[in-house]
Structure 1
Amino acid sequence: MSATVATPQKNRDVAAALSRRRRRTDTVIRGLCIAATVLGLLFLISILLTLLLRGLGGISLNVFTQPTRPPGSGGGLLNPIIGSLIQVALATAIGTPIGMLAGTYLAEYARGSRLGGVVRFVSDILLSAPSILIGLFVYQILVLPFGGFSGWAGVAALAIIVIPVVIRTTEDMLSLLPNTLRESVIGLGAPKWKMVVLVGWRAAASGIVTGVLLAVARIAGETAPLLFTSLGNLNWSVNLAQPMASLPVTIYSYAGSPFEDWVSLAWAGALITTLSVLILNILARSVLSAKR
């Protein structure tokens, strides 16, 4: 009789000890997670505060209305800003359709195929490849053979960075669509390409747009590939066949100079780039949230 009573009591004691141990473990893990989050936020806040304090001091009307000039001449960042806008816009316009079509192929036509696996593998490599390697690749095929740096080479390098991001986003968004939706459209007699274009793309539009905006945010701050392609230009030029200025390369060049006005412009350019990327990320999340 005593053994029968002791067994449930022993089981309750074991369960209580196990519960206490789990609570202690949960408390420790939660504390570590909170500490890591606070540490990361502290670094982020310190970076943003430094950028605001140093960058706001260099913001003036000249930054947006005057091109780059020699030190002490009251120059601005007009030509790097325009150069970055041109190169990013063209790279997005070139990379987005390619990425959408490739992602659509992987999601709708290449499921389980060997070619689809190869395309997906190459896309994943490009997605994780250092951007400087892409710059070196474009340098070998578009800069050396044509005898000089150019805006088109910079556009090509940035477009290559855009493509895998859009491929992954398009494939993932289309893969989330229920098969019943596809079957119902095809059952009505519509060809598959109409199902993809008129139904699939529309249903996945918010996710695809989010991927495009994230790709733009990524290439907006790229410096390494542009150093090997468009290089930069201290003079006003919108000729894509010639070296073209860009904001990241100008920041890189000015930040290490011994001239205070150039360093101030570098901080101002860094602030403009950061705010632009921040706005694009907020816009991407807003677009995604609005469709949910």
Structure 2
Amino acid sequence: MTSNERLYQIRAFKNRLAMVLSCGATAFGLIWLVWILVTTVINGFQALNLSLFTQMTPPPGTEGGLANALYGSALMSAIALLIGTPIGLMAGIWLAEFARHSRLGNTVRFINDILLSAPSIVLGLFIYTAVILPLNLLTNHQAGFSAIAGALALALLVIPVVVRTTDEMLQLQPTTLREAALALGVPQWKLTLQIVLRAAKAGVLTGILLALARITGETAPLLFTAFGNQFWSSNLLKPIASVPVVIFQYAMSPFEDWHSLAWAGALVLTLFVLILSLLSRLILLRNRLT
């Protein structure tokens, strides 16, 4: 056997070994993912019924649903998007169009990346310290945990996601697009809003959907802010129920009927995130086709 043949066999062995290890690692990760999904679907479907969406969270040993928790999650998520999306869009536009290569822009990107990777419980603790405690003292313990505080905590999770995606999507637009518009005498603000942002709208919208998907299942910040409520509440200054917190509380309880509701809530959240993921992919696919 020549040295070239021996070298070829060694390389072929390394290639097969790397392929086997890669496939094994992929299969190992997929097994756990499939196991989690199958367990959630099986246990969740057993408790999935109409009362889940029409009745409020019950005391132990009685029938009920998650209507107030679903409403609370939807309300806080909507407010968080209304607060976080405009801030994230404006910050992302500024980074991409006006501070792309500046030192200040790079510093803001670095800080945004830190906020993006920060544990959500830290943001919840920040809102608890900066909003709930002072409000509690100012109102003589009449106000504290509230839906608006939970929405503010979720908004802090929305902002860095929207900033990052908006910045990247705008930077992906060709420079020739900007140069052509400026050569025709288009003002900078009109170029940014009506040309560049419109060209990147699919990616920006996808970023907003991803931000919504992220805050949907957050539990830790809501434990410090919205806390929870067994009853239906539309008061933004009072505690409010949410699906992730209810899942946490019911899963830790010793009651079997609460466990069933927790599995049903987990399935609803999983399906909602799946729908958002599919919707974002459809938006990107449609943008490529057009």
TM-score, normalised with respect to structure 1? 0.93
Question: Does residue 275 of structure 1 match 2:275?
Answer: no
What is the deviation of 1:18?
3.0
Give the structure 1 partner of residue 66 of structure 2. Answer: 77
Give the structure 2 partner of residue 108 of structure 1. Answer: 97
What is the deviation of 1:256?
1.1
State percent identity of aligned pairs.
54
Which protein is bigger by CA-based radius of gyration?
1
Q: d(CA) in 2 for partners of 1:254 and 1:178?
A: 51
Q: How does 1:90-129 map to 2 (within 5 A)?
A: 90-129=79-118
What is the deviation of 1:57?
1.0
Q: d(CA) in 2 for partners of 1:127 and 1:257?
A: 32
Deviations 1:130-154, CA, capped at 9 Å, x for gaps: 0000000010111111111010000
Instruction: Please identify, of 254-263 and 242-251, the stretch whose mean Cα deviation from structure 2 is larger.
Output: 254-263
Question: Runs of 5+ in structure 1 lacking a partner?
Answer: 1-9
What is the deviation of 1:39?
1.2
Give the structure 1 partner of residue 239 of structure 2. Answer: 243
Question: Does residue 135 of structure 1 match 2:135?
Answer: no
What is the deviation of 1:209?
0.9
Question: Runs of 5+ in structure 2 lacking a partner?
Answer: 137-143
Give the structure 2 partner of residue 192 of structure 1. Answer: 188
Cα RMSD for the two superposed structures: 1.3
Q: d(CA) in 1 for partners of 2:98 and 2:9?
A: 53
Deviations 1:268-289, CA, capped at 9 Å, x for gaps: 0011111111111111112112
What is the deviation of 1:98?
0.8
Runs (4+) of structure 1 exceeding 6 A deviation are none
Give the structure 1 partner of residue 141 of structure 2. Answer: none
What is the deviation of 1:19?
3.0
Equivalent position SS for 2:135:
coil
Q: d(CA) in 1 for partners of 2:177 and 2:8?
A: 47
Given residue 242 of structure 1, which amino acid in structure 2 is its aligned partner?
K
Deviations 1:197-255, CA, capped at 9 Å, x for gaps: 01111111111111111111110000000000011111110111100110000000111
Paired residue total: 281
Instruction: Please identify, of 23-32 and 183-192, the stretch whose mean Cα deviation from structure 2 is larger.
Output: 23-32
Q: d(CA) in 2 for partners of 1:166 and 1:291?
A: 19
Give the structure 1 partner of residue 251 of structure 2. Answer: 255
Q: d(CA) in 1 for partners of 2:201 and 2:276?
A: 17
Deviations 1:44-66, CA, capped at 9 Å, x for gaps: 11111111111111111111100
Give the structure 2 partner of residue 182 of structure 1. Answer: 178
Give the structure 1 partner of residue 282 of structure 2. Answer: 286
